[in-house]
Copies of this chain bind each other. A is one copy, B any other.
């Protein structure tokens, strides 16, 4: 451990005058520093010589003809798989110059992908150089980078956050931006770039790979699957990193709140969880903790539910629980819930239109512009939410859906409906809601043993793919229900994950987000148990993530069930 890292215990804060990184001058908590030197196992294919075997030609997730047109140099690439061999024939001995970039929101494990790439280069192509682009893709555009040395990387090993080189949300879109990337690649003489990101960022990685190849640049591009939301996955990429850690942090908090609910006996806790597009986090947390009610956006959408029907479902459970003597409970709600409700989408679209063109008068005459269905919904909403819809607008004047505190909205709507049922003598208890939002707490936690190891393998594998000259692939580590030694390592053609969307009259390539499948094993398991959980209080409080001892090598239920390995 470098002397400038002081292990916890509140020792004096030492700082290195030559500090190059935010963490070099940090005081570390004992758990943090104990993680730094944690040795991580690698899949056995890395134990000796290996070679890379190509699979059959690939296609696309949809509209292969359009994808083929958009990626003429990459379309159809086979997947690559590392297999043991007598000699490293496929690998050249040439020293490499590699860049790495973090793109989009934080996810636990990102630092380990970087240390995996670094260690691969150290172990297999000694003398190679690794650059870290700072602040996301903009770092590539502006050629803003730092050379990542052993000393620089050391304090970030097995640590949460993206602060080693930070991230950003820029994308390569304009010709100018692609030109800047080319200039950076040439200036640094890059053999490859690893893009660590979600669906958008990996689409961007593929565009960059295509562009470099079309310009005959030697620079290859490899993606890595990152997002706590868990919505970037496919057969070859069974999970995105960060999902495991984030869900276990949320589940710890939910479990604590459950025990509190049962002990106090008088509160309904409404917990909103991150995950706007897909409800994987909410589903996983439900499988880990067994809440009384769980709303899954994909089901709400498939059943074309309304806000009223979601509210009624909650109220029905609250009333039945009251009959059973339970005046408390825990309810999980995905952040993106209202994005899944068609009538809310319609109302918001109408509001955006009205707010852009009409004067909103105090008398409410503007409401006459709403369709009757939207007006009815608007009047159903609690006053605070109405105001939020009217007042909180983004720079384009649009309603800021993400700012709506869905959990508070539901509490108020449930209160209102329960008052009605009280008048009808269908309910006679006092309802008290408590709201929670668990989001930022989960994005930068210390990665679980699973995420630490998985990310390290993803990075190590990305190094191998680049050394063998691959491009336009996403690093793919599989067989994850087996011991780490048996994990498979390879790369999957990014174009094979793509479909197109029509935007502004043009086809745009997109990696479709993996939504919760209503006929998938995780949802089906949840659906088969939710009534039992609703009325019989099968709460589980998983407790804090452990790094040694019991449960330290646990893996999330979603992954295990999808791999057919869940109990």
Contact = CB atoms under 8 A, between A and B. Distances in A.
B440 A262 contact: no
Interface string A4-17: 00001111010100
B546 A544 contact: yes
Interface in A428-478: 434, 436, 440-446
A537 interface: yes
Consensus secondary structure, chain A interface? loop
Contact of A249 (B167, B256, B529): B256
A13 B550 contact: no
A538 interface: yes
Nearest to A29: B542
B554 A442 contact: no
A161 interface: yes
A544 B445 contact: yes
A106 B445 contact: no
Given A26-B538, A538-B26, A446 B550 contact: no
A444 B544 CA distance: 12
A436 B548 CA distance: 30
A28 B29 CA distance: 29
A8 B288 CA distance: 9
Interface string A531-565: 01000111111111111111100100100000000
Interface in A482-539: 529, 532, 536-539
Contact of A550 (B31, B263, B543): B31
A109 interface: no
B538 A29 contact: no
Contacts of A10: 287, 557, 566-567
A130 to B, nearest CB: 19
Interface residues of A, number: 76
B549 A106 contact: no
Interface in A247-280: 249, 252-253, 255-260, 262-265, 267, 269
Contacts of A262: 22, 161, 163
Contacts of A546: 31, 544, 546-548
Given A106-B260, A440-B260, A540 B8 contact: yes
B257 A440 contact: yes
B549 A263 contact: no
A30 B557 contact: no
Contact of A551 (B30, B135, B554): B30
A142 to B, nearest CB: 16
A567 B253 contact: no
Given A256-B445, A445-B256, A27 B538 contact: yes
B161 A263 contact: yes
A353 B545 CA distance: 50
A166 interface: yes
A233 interface: no
A550 B30 contact: yes
Interface in A359-395: none
A549 B547 contact: yes
A32 interface: yes
A441 B543 CA distance: 11
B163 A263 contact: yes
A34 interface: yes
A99 interface: no
Contacts of A440: 256-257, 260, 267, 269, 434, 436
A19 to B, nearest CB: 10
A328 B255 CA distance: 30
A226 interface: no
Contacts of A81: none
Contact of A22 (B33, B446, B537): B537
B444 A34 contact: no
A167 B550 contact: no
Contact of A263 (B166, B264, B554, B566): B166
Contact of A554 (B30, B33, B265): B30
Contacts of A30: 542, 550-551, 554
Given A166-B264, A548-B550, 18 more contacts: A11-B567, A13-B532, A22-B262, A25-B538, A27-B538, A29-B288, A29-B540, A31-B550, A31-B551, A32-B540, A32-B542, A106-B259, A161-B262, A256-B441, A259-B444, A260-B440, A269-B440, A446-B543
8 closest pairs, A vs B, by CB? A544-B544, A34-B550, A161-B259, A31-B543, A259-B444, A30-B551, A548-B549, A29-B542
28 contacts: A8-B551, A10-B566, A11-B567, A15-B536, A26-B540, A27-B290, A27-B538, A28-B540, A29-B255, A31-B544, A31-B550, A32-B543, A34-B551, A106-B260, A106-B264, A163-B259, A166-B264, A167-B263, A249-B544, A252-B544, A253-B253, A256-B440, A256-B441, A256-B445, A267-B440, A445-B543, A544-B545, A544-B546
